[in-house]
Every structure is written in C-alpha cells, then in structure tokens.
Structure 1
Amino acid sequence: MGSAVGLCSSPRAWGCDWNIARLLCFAAISWVLMTQMEVGAWTYHYGDKSDYSWEVARNFCRSFYTDLVAIQNQREIAYLNSVLPHHRTYYWIGIRKINNVWTWVGTSKALTKEAENWASREPNNKGRNQDCVEMYIKRDNDAGRWNDERCQKKKRALCYQASCQSSSCSQRGDCVETIGNYTCDCYPGFYGLECEHVVRCKNLDPGPDCSHPLGEYSYNSTCKFLCQEGFELQGLDTLQCLESGNWTAEAPECAALKCPVLATPGRGQLNCTNWHGDFTYNSTCAFSCETGFVRNGSETLECTALGQWTGHPPHCEAVKCPVLDSPDRGQLNCTHRHGDFTYNSTCAFSCETGFVRNGSETLECTALGQWTGHPPRCEAVKCPVLDSPDRGQLNCTHRHGDFTYNSTCAFSCEMGFVRNGSETLECTALGQWTGHPPRCEAVKCPVLDSPDRGQLNCTHRHGDFTYNSTCAFSCETGFVRNGSETLECTALGQWTEHPPRCEAVKCPVLDSPGRGQLKCTHWHGDFTYNSTCAFSCETGFVRNGSEMLECTALGQWSDHPPLCEAVMCPGLAAPGRGRLNCTHWYGDFAYNSTCAFSCETGFVRNGSETVECTALGQWTGSPPLCEVMRCPKLRGLEPILMNCSHPLGSFSYGSVCRFRCTQGYFLNGTSRVRCQPDAHWSDKMPTCQEEAAPYFKQVLLYMGGGAVALVALLLTGMLIALLIKRLSDKEEEKTLLNPTSDLGVTGVFTNATFDSNL
C-alpha cells in the first residue's frame, strides 16, 4: 500500500507542474491519515485523503483491492454505517446504471428488488445523468441508505477485498461473501461445507456401457444399453444419474423384433415356422398355389433382424396367354374369367366397313397358355388404277394398299395451268371412285391498257394475257415511270406488279427556313418540274443564299436553299472579380441573347444587371463593373497597438487587423478582426486593461524549490485554495487517467480495534 510521502517523492503522479505539485504535497502531508484493519477474509477499505469521481474511485479500488464495495444485506449496511467516519461528500459504492439497469459492477449482476436500499424518494435522477450511487454514512436521516448521483461528483472511495478464492467451494458451487468469511452455495448434484461430496444413484445390473466422470454410479454418470441382433430395447437406450440421486428412467428390456403379419394369398396356401413368436425374428413362411395358377414372387420369406421380410409376399395368378390386339381396321371382343387374356378367355374378331376378314372368327386361351389358332386380318376393298392427266400430276395417298378403300388421289396442274374438274377422288367401300378424273387448262390474267402519257408492248406465249405473257411500259419525254418497267402473268392469274404510271419529275421537298417563309408555284404537282419557290426572313434575321429557286428537268433545284441567320452583337467578357451568365437563343451573342452580370463575394455591381442583343446588332446598355466592399475605418490609440493588412484596398473586404497591448496591460477581447463580405468587421475592437498581481506571477515562475517550500508553509488557507482553483481541467483529466496519483490515504477496517499511522 502506498502513502502520501511516497507520492511526494514522485510529484509527476499528480499530473501538474513540478513546483506546484511539491507545494500541494507539502500542504497535504499535514492532514494525511491512514486507517487500516485486516482479517483473513472479506475486508473493507476506504481512502480518507481525497475525493474522486466515480470512475477514478473505481480505478483506485481495482488497482489495490478487488473493486468498489458490493453490499449484499442489511447486516453489512449496519456494520459500515457504524464503523465508517462521517464525511460531508459521503462514499461511492459499486453500483451503476448500465443500459438503464442498476448493476453491481464487480459481479455484473442486476440489482434485485429485495436488495434495494434507496433513501426516501430515491432514485430521482435529479438534474439527470445521475447514473452512479453514493452511500449516506452517519447522516442525520436515511443513514446507510443510497442516493443516485452524477458520476463526475467527487466523493470518498469505499472498497472491498474479496475472501473467495478460485479454489473455494471445490469449484463445485458459488462462493458467497460474508463479513470476515464466506459460505458455499453448491451446484446441483453436490453437497458438503466445501461441496466436496457427490450425489449417488443405485447400481445397475451388469450389461450396460457406463461412464462415471464423478465416481461410480454418481451424479452425471451415463449408461447406454444395447440388445443382440434381432432384438430391440423396450425403453430408453441411455440413462443418466440426476442430482436427485435417481436415474432418468427404469432400465429397459430386450424383445424380439416383429415382422408384419402375413396373409394367405388368394388361390394359394401359407405354411410358417416361428421360433420366437408368430411372425418374429427368424420365422420362415412358405407359399404354394392351386392347380391352374402360378406363384408370382418368392416361394419362401424369412423375418430378418431389421423386422422386415426378405421379400414381398407372392401372389397366385392364373396362367396367361399372349395379349391379343384388335386387327388393323377391325374390332376385338373378349370374355375374361380369371383376368385379361388368361385361361378360358374367348375372343371374337370383326372388320370395319370396307374391309373383309381373312382367318378364324373366334379364338380361346388353353390351359397351356396358347390360343386355339392365329388371329385373323382385315383387308381393304380395291378400286381401278388411275393415271396422271395431260399437263398435270397425280398424287395419291394409300392407307390400306394401292388404290384400295379410303385411298385418295389429288390432281394438280403444271405452272400456268388450272384444273377443270374435281381436285380429289376417293375409293369407296364399294370399290368405286367418287368422280371422273379432271383436265388441265392454261391460267388467264386481266387485260392491260397503255398508261396515260405512256406506251404498252406485250408478248403472249399461251394466248392473249395468259400465263407467261410479258408486257413492257414506257413514258413520254418529261415524265418518269412510277412502277415496274415489265409485268409478267403468273401461275396465279395475276400480274407480278400493278401497272405503272407516268409522273412528272420531282425535286426534293423544300421547307421554310428557320425564322423565315417559303412561297412556291407548282405546275405539275408539289415540288415537280418547273415549280418555283421564293424565300424571305423574319425581322432580326437576314437571308444567306438565293432568293428564288426553280425545279429543273433533272429533279434538282437551281441552287441550295438559303438560311435565315440571326443578327450578331459584339462579344461580351466577364467583368474583373465578376461572372457573366448568358442565354443564347440563336447563337452566341446573337439577336435576343441576354447576359446577366454578378460579382464575387465582397464585391458589388456598378451598372446594369442585364443587357440584351437587339435586332440592330447592338446591346441595350454598357457592361457593368465590380467594385470591392469597404468596412468602417479603425484607429488604434495607446496602450493598444494595431497592425493591418489590406490586400484589396484600405479597410476593404479581406482586410485583417491584429491587436496587442503595451507592457503592463493585457488584451480584453479578440486579438484579430477581419472585414467581411457584408462590409462589417468580424468582431468588436478590443481594449487594453492594466495587468494585476504581478508579484505572485513572479514567485511561481522564478522561485527555487527551497523557497517554494518556505512560502508554502507561510501561505494562508486562502492562498492554497487560490492555487488549487487555478489547476486546469486538463490536469483533472490526467488524474482520471492515472488514479494511482492519490493513493496516499486508505482506510482498512473491520469490527476490531483501529490503528492510526501517518
């Protein structure tokens, strides 16, 4: 355990200047007192030198003891209230609000309702963020009770040293601290003062495979049971010894596995031999069938160790004959007594209309699985043979043989010829065709005439305007053909194209120019040969090109179409320290273009904000200028000294003025102002005030170690308080990070007598 003297030998531990730390140490030694009392079990400790925030107090306790005190019952509270000295700021204890739950930090356990010891109307979170807890000691009211407080408050640290060790309670129970001792709360399955004994269960008969981690047939022992092949357990296969001294269940038994019960097959017999009971492990069953039936499946089945038969039970089925199908174009009518196409089945055959039977009418299935004869066939009726027509083809479909019943013959003609007669003939059930064969005749196309303003010239191979006739078209001078030059009569009786027309030569269609007008005269149709077009432009635009164009015989205009171009104004540039934003409707700086001017921050526009380009090619005004903003002028009179920089002009935007005072004065206000874009200074001008207490400043800066010690002894309590007040918040943060800097005073006590040591 440390002391105040040890800390003064290392004053840097206080986190402040060497001389100031020494001054504080010498002043502190006069009231240091260490109170201690020890026993061999749970002990309490407290520091009586300084107050700490809750975090620093906990660091203090954890560095030298176990943690901030964890109070378990009212007896401890009464004891602490009786032996601890009263302190005006009271004592921190080891409970804090974590995730909105009051929690003992030493054990990470939540505070239970039964263990609460709050003072009246507490916790009230007065002032908010009161997440730590203090204990009232020797208070006029609510002595020994708790109050929630802000964790940054300064109070005494109340610590404890635990009596429980890692080996306590044989590691088979929870070690519960008491004042000066501990007790063991044994885990299930253990008992004794130190939880040294294990609960036992009754021994099991030989046979199971057991594991005994804590002793033979004791708590947590497990036993597994197995049966011989063909037998199964009746009960649980694994038992465990519970903390009650009982097994999880009664010991199981082994019983022979059973197979599914077998039934006698229809038209058959079943004969079984059973060794361990009907239809159980190793039972065998033999199957047989009546005369006239055969077995389908295994003759013998055996019940296996898996409780399954070695196969599926067989069936007794009647003898079968080969399956018969209806003859092609016929019908089959059967009578089955024992199943389809089995012994004694009879089948009768018949043929469809247009077909005749070739073979026996009826067959019967015998006991040998054979029919009494071969199945008959149905053959189609025949019609006379047909030939292809002249200039045509014959395509026949024979479903039942060449030119037989239902045969169909389709007639077609060569390209350029059409059929005169029925397209298709069919062979009927009477052996006759449905009509006479047709003839093929040439195809005809519509008669053609010469086109208007043109001529027609035709060649006919198979007659006027028939298949393969060709006709050529031509037009008069000044006109062009719209359509194919030559047409041909196709096999469909149609010309390959529509007859062409003779139309006047066309020039490309003209559009009005942008911001202009177009006026045309047409003699033979819109924009055709001899058409003339005149161009004009709107106000503010001028024509670039010919005023009049004419469509020539070659289908071209006499010149390129003109354009209407906007009148141009002189180009503009952005002013110095400004920006130019233009909208161009018809080109850069052209007619109707508008340009807006703006200035950078700290500058103001002098002139028009917007100008526009007119139809005369002139702007509506002159471009503006951007002038810098200016702040009010400043004057510096002693004892204040002023130094200014003016990058853009005297006391203008961006100007910076710095201030300082002559010796013996200190600056009251900002040391630097800047001229802002709104022509105002960033702050008020400071003043100089006369500096106070130079004597004390010189003492702190220049006195040696011995002189400082002498001054410290002579300074009054008010001077010590003043020096402590001047410690910065940064020094307090260093104390929070290094809580061992104030370990000089601790208190350790129980209900024995006290010693006082310096």
Structure 2
Amino acid sequence: MTSFPVGTTVSYICRPGYMRVPGKSATRTCGEGLQWSPVEQFCTERKCSHPGDLEHGSVHVTDLSFGSKATFSCKEGFRLRGTDEISCVIKDKGVGWNRDLPLCERIPCEPPPNIANGRYTEAASYVYQTSVTYRCDDVPKGADPFSLIGPATIFCTHDAHSNGVWSEPPPQCKVVKCDNPKVENGRKKSGFGPSYSYRDSVMFECDPGYFMNGSDVITCGEDNTWSPPKPTCEKISEDGCAAPEITHGVVIPVKAVYAKGESVQQKCNANCTFPDGTREMAVTCQGQNTWSSLQNCACEPITSGYTPHINYGSVVDGEKPSYSVGDFITIECYSGYTLHGEARIQYIGENRWIPGVPTCQLSPYVTAIICVIVAIVVFLAAFWVYKKFFSQNGKRDSTPCTAEHKICKA
C-alpha cells in the first residue's frame, strides 16, 4: 500500500541481525492526527558473544553488536597466525563472528649460521630470545690458535615485519698474529711475551731524556696490526721537559713536552697531600728535562675517630685509637647479655662497619630469674603487711576488756 486510511494498523518484523525488544509493540496505527503510534524503537542489534582470550596476545573489542569488529595483537616475541580482525555478521538466523580466532606463535629464527673453524651451542629450537654461543675449534699442540673475532653470543630477535632474525652476524675464527712491537729509545712497561694474538696489549715508556708521541698502550687487532699505531720516543730538547711524574696525583695541563720556563700545576688525589700538607703545588720546567721542586703525594689511610660504643659489651680484639679501611674488631657482651648481630665486624670508612655494629640485650633466662625474684619479694612484703596489721587488729577486737572499756564503766 502507498497510502493508509485512519485506523489502519501495520505490523513489522525485525531485519536479519536485529531482534525484537521485549515488551515493545511491533505494530503501528494511523491516528486521527495522521500520525503513526506508538513511536518507540522495537528492534535492536543482536550481539555476538565475546570472542574469548588470545593466548600470548590481546583481544581489542569495544562493542559486541551486529556489525562491530574485534582486533587482535600479540605480545613481544610473538606474531599473529591468521587474521588480525573479525566482524560480527549474520549467521545461522542470528549473528556470529565471521572468522576463527588467530593464534599467537613465538617468532622463529632460522638455525644460526655455521662458521669456519668454529661451532655454536645447539638448541632444540630457535625462537625469540634463544641465544647461541660460538667458540673456535681447538688446534694441535704447537699450532697457532684461532681467535674469536666478533660477538661470542648472538640471540634470536625480530625485524619490523615480525620475521625472526639474529641480533648480529656470527663471529669469525681465524689466526691473528701481530709482530713483536719495539719502540726506539723506549721499552715495554707491561705485555711481555714471545708472541701476540688478538686483543693482546703492550704498554711502553720512553727512556730518560725522551718524551712519548702517541698512545702508550697498543692492542693487537683482527687485521694483524697494532691499534693505535706504535708510539715514538722523541728526544727532549735542552730547552724542554717531559711531563713530570707524580704518584697519587695528576698534572694540569697534560702535554707530551713542555718548554723551558713553562709551569704546570700538580694536584694530589683525595686523602693525599704533599710533605708540607698542601694538596696542590706549581713546578716549572728548567730545561734539560729538569723540573723545580718535584715531590710526590703521600696518602693517609681513611680512619674513623672512635671505637663504636657497645652498651653492656666491649671490644675484646682489634681495638685501636683509630681504624683504617679493612680493619676488624671482635665484640663480646657482658655476662647475662646476649649478642644480637655479628661478633666480628669490619671497618669500611666514614664511621661505618659491616655487617653493622651489634647490640647486647639482656638474656631471656636472666629476665625470667629477675621476674621470679621480684614476684617472691612482692609476695613476702604483702604477707608481712597482712601479719602486722590485719592479724593484730583482729586480736584487739577479740579482747573482752581493755583499758578504755574499764574507764567507760567507771
């Protein structure tokens, strides 16, 4: 019908995906004012059940009504296997989700690369956060050993597309040999050896009258060369000086060589002083590698000002007027008191001891004995009071004739 006379009633059915609202009429009637009534909504969206939990992942859903969507994401180290979104659609005369839930699988990596002259620790599977450690093969006695160049351990991680990748390229195993380094007008200070392989280090110092140009420490690199390059020891001119050496202190500014007449500041480390008690002093290059008034710093041990006070106890071993870091003392409680803490403690500076200064507390047995004695004394005092006052008052009352009684009769 295209037009409806007054009083006409029409009936509705809800479309697929919608259902009747209980208690609401599904009819409309044309009234005298040419308006349909009633006007309230009687169809509402059907709702899908919650899709459920996703192991190792999360479900994101704001509405379960027909037409809504649910999305999925996985925790770090996992990736989705399946769709990342499902929709609530018409299904079997009702509504339901159009697809099954996806899975979150741990991100896998291909087996780690093999390397020449080395091997890695094998695992049952290689997934996110699995690590493998490489080591080089052993060599026959007398042969040059292989050195592991690069990271010994790599681990399975992932790229921006959640594909499994190894954190770094694998290391290499190769023979590394650096020549025996020698510095003219200088000598080795440490790192003596018949041969040098990967990461071996050598420290040099120059002969008197020479100053060092370059780094005093060099290290054997993977390309069989020293890094940084070997230093050189250059002769100090008659009008120059090498950097002054100072124990337990520093020189400001630091240079390889100083001109005649140039001054530097020497500064002692913390808790260290020069013989005159100062911490800083200036020295001047006088030429021919000679400095004015060169002195070394002397360091005093860090001390505490006093022995820790122990209530009801004393120090029985190691007591001093003051203590250096590392000193031990032993503490003992007086008779009848129990030690709470360690008996032997060590000084660590700044008036602090480890594992802490113990305390002496009254023994539970002594406490119990004192309580019993106090109870007995209180009982005896109460008995004495009772005997002295209550018993004597009773005797007076029972006496038939007293002086006062006789006076009343007279």
Q: Indicate the TM-score class for this superposition, using the shorter chain for normalisation.
A: 0.3 to 0.5
- The answer to which structure, 1 or 2, has the higher relative contact order (CA under 8 A, 6+ apart) is 1
Higher strand share: 2
After TM superposition, the score normalised by the length of structure 1 is: 0.22
After TM superposition, the score normalised by the length of structure 2 is: 0.36
From the CA coordinates, give the structure whose radius of gyration is larger. 1
